Amino acid sequence: MHLKVLLQVLMVVLMLSLAACTPAPEPMHLHQIYQRDSIRVGILNGPTSYYVTADGATGYEYELAVALADKLGVKLDLVPSFHLEELLEKLRTGQVDVIASGSTVSESLRAQYRLAPAYQWSDEVLVFRQTEKKPKSLAELSAPVVVLKGSSQAETMLQKQAELPELSLSLNETDDATELLQQVAEGKIKYTVADSHLLAINQRFYPNLGVAMVLKSQQPVAWLLAKNNDDSLMSVLVEFFGRSYEGAELLSLEDKYFGHVRRFNYADTLDYIEAIDKVLPRYRALFEQHSGNLDWRLLAAIAYQESRWDPKARSPQGVVGMMMLTVNTANSMKVTSRVDAAQSIRGGSKYLQKLLDRMPERVKMPDRLWFALAGYNIGYNHVESARMLTEKDGADPDKWAEVKQRLSLLRQRKYYSQTRTGYARGDHAVYYVENIRRYFDTLLWVDEKKQAELKIQQQKQKLAEEYSEQLEAAANKPAAKETKKANNKTGTDRKS
């Protein structure tokens, strides 16, 4: 054997020996996920990230987690919690693969963990009750600012307190961000700090919540990973969020949860909640009766947008009644009196269902519904024109988030001249749909809250009745014993 060959053989043997003595490297994170056939996602319970309804789980971050699991071809193993600190501990100990909190990420967390690509940006805002005096600066605050301990908002306020020592803070460990907003709305606390996207959701239910000032603008909302040298899962997340942006999935998801709540009208929301209490009860039975396959609360939301629940409402364009039907639409729906509330609601419901049925089958809910509502406002053919413009632009004509951007263009000649139907007030149709979505969400919340309160009241009444029966039974026992004793004594006397 030549010396060169012998040296090569010895080198191979030495390398194999060293390899045998070297501990096996830890398997890559992504490999572990595939081995167990599931990705474990820590997620915060809340109105924007994850919650469970009668129809099942929902939420912005929840849908992102489902999409990621589908992309990987593994099961989704959700690990929900009410506290971020609990999820961070699980991330540190390897009990979850990633955290999808749905809130802005503080600077200290960015230093301790790895951030996946930001998929949303939110302002951190000081929230106050609009019936109170609006503070112009932090120095004018008349009470402590209550924030969640360990949150990005708490870190922001601690930084502000370092600059302004007289600033009073209260670090809350028991409630969540939504509960703090509710406490401000109810006057239990004066101030809190919240992410602007969370505030937008809650203003539909608590319209007296207002922004006093922006404390930090455009903060990233992103998922958290453990800080290590393993890039396998991070690489997947970079591609996942990148492709979601390119394919407009994130745009559609953003529109679904936040697209209709960005514009907020304090006075209008107050009037609406008052009308739910005072006006809606007169017509609720009619909405329920004529809703067909629709949710009666959606039908009621449409009617409020159209007429403010006024059966005799009339517009300058000649549309009339609770559902604001044109003469042609009323005739086609066999409505003989447009000012008759029952007929108008029945006709509006049938017409909306007709528009829903007319949409191509490939258009899925809820986009299908938003298109139908836009058609109810400006006509089905104008909506089809906007979908055609969307397709010409290379965007998805079956996604409302894409099409609503082109609806507004139907006011401009260079765009509407490309269509068969011509000019349309497409921007009004967008506002129309978004208003109805807000009204529907608010009505759902109010109605479900009332049902829950009614259920609690019924349970209390049942318990009170059961307690009353027990007291009555206990009171009757001594009397029964005395009667028995008397009967026994009578029997003894007779024997003697």
Which of 245, 264, 283 delimits the end of a domain? 264
* Residue 426 included in any domain: yes
Q: Which residue, among 406, 398, 436, 437, has the nearest Cα to 424 in the 3D structure?
A: 406
Work out the percent of the chain whose per-residue pLDDT is above 90: 60
C-alpha span between 67 and 59 (Å, rounded): 12
Q: Same domain, yes or no, for 432 and 333?
A: yes
Look up the CATH number of the domain holding residue 339.
1.10.530.10
Q: Same domain, yes or no, for 291 and 238?
A: no
Which of 219, 254, 284 delimits the end of a domain? 219
Q: What is the mean pLDDT of residues 431-443?
A: 92
pLDDT beyond 50 at 11: no
Q: Same domain, yes or no, for 274 and 410?
A: yes
pLDDT of residue 27: 58
* Residue 453 included in any domain: no
Q: Active-site residue among 124, 306, 402, 434?
A: 306
Q: Which residue has the tokens 């007289």?
A: 166
pLDDT of residue 25: 44
- Please write the tens of the pLDDT for every residue from 23-36: 444 458 899 999 99
* Residue 124 included in any domain: yes
* Residue 191 included in any domain: yes
Q: Same domain, yes or no, for 259 and 277?
A: no
pLDDT of residue 253: 84
* Residue 302 included in any domain: yes
pLDDT beyond 90 at 342: yes
Work out the percent of the chain whose per-residue pLDDT is above 70: 89
Q: Same domain, yes or no, for 144 and 227?
A: no
Q: What is the mean pLDDT of residues 337-357?
A: 96
- Please write the tens of the pLDDT for every residue from 138-152: 999 999 999 998 889
Which of 416, 439, 462 delimits the end of a domain? 439
C-alpha span between 127 and 268 (Å, rounded): 19
A 10 A CB-CB count for 19 gives 9
Q: Same domain, yes or no, for 48 and 144?
A: no
- Please write the tens of the pLDDT for every residue from 234-261: 999 999 988 877 777 888 888 888 877 6
* Residue 465 included in any domain: no
Query: What's the DSSP call for residue 116?
Result: P
Q: What is the mean pLDDT of residues 32-45?
A: 94
Look up the CATH number of the domain holding residue 62.
3.40.190.10
Q: Same domain, yes or no, for 305 and 433?
A: yes
C-alpha span between 203 and 132 (Å, rounded): 16
Assign 323 to helix, strand or coil: coil
pLDDT of residue 494: 47
Q: Same domain, yes or no, for 300 and 318?
A: yes
User: What value does the mean pLDDT of the chain take?
Assistant: 87
Q: Same domain, yes or no, for 320 and 400?
A: yes
pLDDT of residue 485: 55
Q: Which residue, among 274, 127, 264, has the nearest Cα to 187 in the 3D structure?
A: 127
51-53 and 56-58 beta bridge pairing: antiparallel
- In terms of residues, how long is the chain? 496
Q: Same domain, yes or no, for 305 and 404?
A: yes
Q: Same domain, yes or no, for 212 and 237?
A: no
Q: Same domain, yes or no, for 161 and 292?
A: no
The pLDDT-based confidence of 54 (bands split at 50, 70, 90) is low
The pLDDT-based confidence of 205 (bands split at 50, 70, 90) is confident
* Residue 448 included in any domain: no
* Residue 375 included in any domain: yes
Assign 387 to helix, strand or coil: helix
Q: What is the mean pLDDT of residues 116-140?
A: 93
Which strand (E) or helix (H) includes residue 192?
Answer: strand 191-195
- Please write the tens of the pLDDT for every residue from 362-417: 999 999 999 999 999 999 999 999 999 999 999 999 999 999 999 989 988 889 88
- 274 carries an active-site annotation: no
**Which domain, by its residues, includes 308?**
270-439
Domain tally, the chain: 3
Q: Which residue, among 298, 335, 301, 297, has the nearest Cα to 319 in the 3D structure?
A: 335
- Please write the tens of the pLDDT for every residue from 289-307: 999 999 999 999 999 999 9
